Homo-oligomer: A and B are copies of this chain.
Amino acid sequence: MVKIGYLGPRGTFTKLAVDTAFNGEDKQSFTTIPECIDAVHDEQVDIGVVPLENAIEGTVQLTVDYLVHQVRLPIIAEIVVPIQQHLLVAREFSSDLSEVTDVYSHSHAIAQCHQFLHKYMPDAKLYFTSSTGKAAEMVSNSGEKIAAIGNRLAASEYGLTIYQENIHDYPNNHTRFAVLAKDKQIVQISHETQAEKTSLLITLPSDYAGALYQVLAAFAWRKMNLSKIESRPMKTGLGNYFFIVDVNQPYDDVLFPGVKAELEALGCNVTILGTYPVHQMQL
């Protein structure tokens, strides 16, 4: 049986992504992103699922930095999950919204529901927890007059009632997760493939005006469309940058080697982080 490692704990968005994408496999929760990535590298698990772009539980920075600086593992798939935040209360809760005194959640989830809280619960005290799952657990333990903000999975894992659905401010928030594995063949995600992408890591030889412009020329004249570009400082010192670029097409034997050769001629270093399908999940 395929073993899947993921960033825990229970009732979080990463777990929700894993449960939506995979079915029946042996799933193991890890405490931190580096632990989860190490477990794939050390072959304790076959697949690791970690947040790649996630406004709730992690930053893309930890995942990308660890992949870039510590453990090079290919990304074999991307899972995209909509963020839906709900107001969760204990089953025995029978009061009005205005009587809720305390709201618990991860600080980012509370910030994402800022307008709802401001408008409908201006007097409630806000308490931060280490995850949305943890907030649900606290409400399940103490019952009346308190609420948590979290997802549907947190509600079912901790036996809570969804008092109000979709209280997040922006309807189009998504989280992206990277599926990491040494062996690309190990997993088949049956959900529809929305796109094929290739992620590249590009380091520049030095920082000068127009350097990035030169780099993008290699993609532009080949009509290769970028869906994401992000500059990140190298850990070696101030002023040195690397770029993460997502190209909207699968790796091929003509265009990508051409880009790589051109960029290397400019003194850049180019690494393929992965070429993989993107699966959009519906909750």
Contacts and interface: CB of A to CB of B under 8 A. Distances in A.
Interface of A: 31-35, 55, 57-59, 61-62, 65, 69, 106-108, 110-112, 114, 126, 128-131, 134, 170-174, 207-210, 212-213, 216-217, 219-221, 223-231, 233-238, 241
Contacts of A128: 31, 130-131, 134
Nearest to A32: B111
A38 to B, nearest CB: 8
A104 to B, nearest CB: 10
Contacts of A126: 31-32
B208 A107 contact: no
B172 A237 contact: yes
B59 A108 contact: yes
How many copies make up the complex?
A: 2
Nearest to A31: B126
A171 B236 CA distance: 8
A58 B172 CA distance: 20
A90 B249 CA distance: 54
Nearest to A207: B225
B170 A235 contact: yes
Nearest to A171: B235
10 contacts: A32-B111, A107-B131, A170-B235, A174-B233, A174-B238, A212-B226, A226-B231, A227-B231, A230-B230, A230-B231
Contact of A130 (B107, B226, B227): B107
A213 B210 contact: no
B231 A231 contact: no
Contacts of A223: 209-210
Given A114-B34, A209-B220, A230-B229, A235 B172 contact: yes
Given A128-B130, A128-B134, A212-B229, 19 more contacts: A32-B111, A32-B114, A32-B126, A34-B111, A34-B114, A35-B114, A55-B59, A62-B108, A62-B112, A170-B235, A172-B236, A207-B227, A209-B225, A209-B226, A210-B219, A210-B220, A210-B223, A210-B225, A213-B217
